[in-house]
Amino acid sequence: MLRSKGVAQLLVFFLSPLLALSSTPSDCRVAIVGAGIGGVYTAWRLTVDTKTVTANHVCIFEAKSRAGGRIATVRSPIPGFENFTLDLGAYRYNRISHPTVRYLIEDVLQISTSCYTDPLNLNPEACESASRTIFTSRGKVFGFQPNGTDSESAFENYTKAIPYNIDPKYQWNATSSQTSPRSIFSLFIGPKTVIPELQLYPQLLEEANYTRAMLLADDIIVSLRNGMYKGVSYRDITLWQIAVAEGFTPEELRLFIDRSGTGAGSFLHSNVERLLQGVLRSAALRKAEVSGLAGLFVPVQLRDGKIRRIGMITIIERMLSQITSKGVRVFYDSKVTGIDRVWRYSKLVRLSFVNGESVKVRKVVLDIGKPDLVALGLNSEPLKSSSELFRRAVERIVSYPYAKTYCFWEDAWWITKLNKSAGIVRTADQSIFTARYHDGDYVCELREGDGRRKCRGAILTSYIGGDTTGGGPAITVRTTNDKPYTPLTNSDSIRIIVAGNMSAHEQLYFDEVHKQLRRAHGSTFKSFGLDVQTDLSNASGCVVGDWSEVGIHVEHGSGRGEENVFDLYTRPVADLDISLVNEAWAEVYGWAESSLRSAERALFHAFGVGRPSWMDDVFHRSVVEKFNLG
């Protein structure tokens, strides 16, 4: 479904002027370090949305030559595929669970959006979840058939064909009391919960009123603060640890992880309190009256009669256009190497840059994650003057590596050969790990003569997170990238591989992707009367997003105590106006919503900026003012 906003369907965007820090600006009062969505949004709220700060007193300093950070949109990346757009970093948002992003994209910036799982807009009246069409594990391949059955049908009953040694008392079938594999989440949500504080969860699900649901979620979240599992605080134990303690076997846990989404293992090692705060808030947010469809959505535009994806960077471009037109200056290739007080006890700070220049400012907003914060060092603010509580909080934030690969085909075989525009290929035992037919950018035309579709474009061929060592399906691109994206260098995460013009390392990776795709699709192609070796041709090229060093963040580890770390992030040093805004510093890890929530908290608690007129007061009170802590 196309959600169209504004009069014009064809959206035109203007990038901010490319300024370099060749001379020191003397009139910056607010310095925003990082032109990711959190930093640009903060500048936009201060100068355009509220006019709290005069625009020409706000300066954004970006270390790279582009805006966006881990929002990395590429346009026309491969020769012959002009006007195709891919997101190598953040790529979608949930219309219900991510209200801050929804408000910004749809209501404020008036950007058209469409269902993420329906790239060809075949069913505009629905936005359904994509099924797991192919699953491979331990040498076994479970494919989908022309009659519509997919890999899930193979797991309806436990059989010897399933390559997991499940204890007989936990094996499942349609006629027994155990009708499906045991889920870790059944220990927390449902009649067998081991978290007594969640006994009110069914009431939350049944509550129809949004305000009452949000208040009930607040109450349950508060009750979790002093809760314990076998004497261990919920903030000091993980879902995984509880599952082991409750008797889940290693084979059950492996099956659960293998059939879960990318990165599920990392989140299961997060503390119970933080994860349940997110679960409870999402359940309450589902009670809000939101017009249109629920589900995952992406920015689009209507072009040549087709709905085309335009990338998450569109959000940042639109805000940059507005703030720079008011006078905000954006300096690219301007890496901050240190922040220090101008003199002892001063609230005025000096930002030093890699080229030797420096800027004195009164307020600093750091749109950086943990790796960049640590790279600034203990001799730089905010770590230098921060408390041990803050440093311990930073220690508990872990940056998980991720990598994505999209490949372009002249013949979009998933459509033309298999008639699949949506579906997930989960290869738990292979280096591609996860592929998705609905994630990418491709177009179809009816061919003259036989009326068959001719389709071309790109899909996500590999999405993997968490494993860099090779103990599982390793992030192969990490081993073939000699210039990774890190806080220590100026390399970008984007790599383009074009057939016929590759290095030896690139050729190895290119060949590996195709080998694994063909292995996963072999039985399916055969069931369609096709030969995967000849009918799945080589791609014209691939685009890789390597986030091995700066992936997504997750809070791990025990010992946090009752300290409100989110409040610490809004002002790490009591007598300095420095705030952290980034996906790392709020609870919706891995999503743009996290960056915007952290920004709103900094704006409210550090800058004294009130609730946006376009945000409902119930959400602002529970999530921004009270940090989603009840």
Domain range annotation of the chain? 21-70+296-398+563-625, 152-285, 400-551
d(CA 181, CA 167): 11
Tell me, what's the pLDDT at 489? 82
Tell me, what's the pLDDT at 2? 41
Tell me, what's the pLDDT at 505? 85
Q: Please report which confidence band the pLDDT of residue 14 belongs to, taking 50, 70 and 90 as the band edges.
A: very low
Tell me, what's the pLDDT at 411? 97
Tell me, what's the pLDDT at 511? 92
**pLDDT of 30-81, one tens digit each?**
999 999 999 999 999 999 999 999 999 999 999 999 999 999 999 999 999 9
Using the predicted structure, report yes or no on whether residue 173 has a pLDDT greater than 50. yes
In this prediction, residues 7-36 reach a mean pLDDT of 64
In this prediction, residues 179-190 reach a mean pLDDT of 89
Least confident of 87-96, 108-117, 251-260, 566-575: 251-260
Using the predicted structure, report yes or no on whether residue 328 has a pLDDT greater than 90. yes
Tell me, what's the pLDDT at 478? 72
Tell me the helix, strand and coil percentages in the chain, rounded to 5: 30, 20, 45
**pLDDT of 398-436, one tens digit each?**
988 888 999 999 999 999 999 999 999 999 888 788 999
Tell me, what's the pLDDT at 430? 80
**pLDDT of 220-251, one tens digit each?**
999 999 999 999 999 999 999 999 999 999 99
**Mean pLDDT over the full length of the chain:** 91
Using the predicted structure, report yes or no on whether residue 459 has a pLDDT greater than 90. yes
Tell me, what's the pLDDT at 450? 56
**Burial of 91: CB neighbours in 10 Å, binned 0-12, 13-18, 19+:** buried
Interacting residues of 354 by C-beta distance below 8 A, sequence separation 6+: 334, 335, 336, 337
Using the predicted structure, report yes or no on whether residue 11 has a pLDDT greater than 60. no
Tell me, what's the pLDDT at 475? 60
Domain at 21-70+296-398+563-625, CATH class: alpha beta
Q: Which of 600, 61, 67, 580 is nearest to 350 (CA)?
A: 61
Using the predicted structure, report yes or no on whether residue 484 has a pLDDT greater than 90. no
Tell me, what's the pLDDT at 8? 28
Q: Please report which confidence band the pLDDT of residue 6 belongs to, taking 50, 70 and 90 as the band edges.
A: very low
CA distance readout (Å), 571 to 209, 364, 390, 567: 35, 10, 10, 7
Tell me, what's the pLDDT at 557? 78
Using the predicted structure, report yes or no on whether residue 26 has a pLDDT greater than 90. no
d(CA 38, CA 328): 15
Tell me, what's the pLDDT at 549? 84
In this prediction, residues 261-268 reach a mean pLDDT of 74
Q: Please report which confidence band the pLDDT of residue 548 belongs to, taking 50, 70 and 90 as the band edges.
A: confident
Tell me, what's the pLDDT at 10? 27
d(CA 477, CA 402): 10
Cα-based angle 445, 448, 449 (whole degrees, multiple of 5): 140
Tell me, what's the pLDDT at 7? 28
In this prediction, residues 490-498 reach a mean pLDDT of 87
Using the predicted structure, report yes or no on whether residue 556 has a pLDDT greater than 60. yes
Using the predicted structure, report yes or no on whether residue 467 has a pLDDT greater than 70. no
Q: Do the bridges between strand 336-341 and strand 349-353 make them parallel or antiparallel, or are there none, so unpaired?
A: antiparallel
Higher pLDDT, 14 or 574: 574
pTM (2 decimals)? 0.94
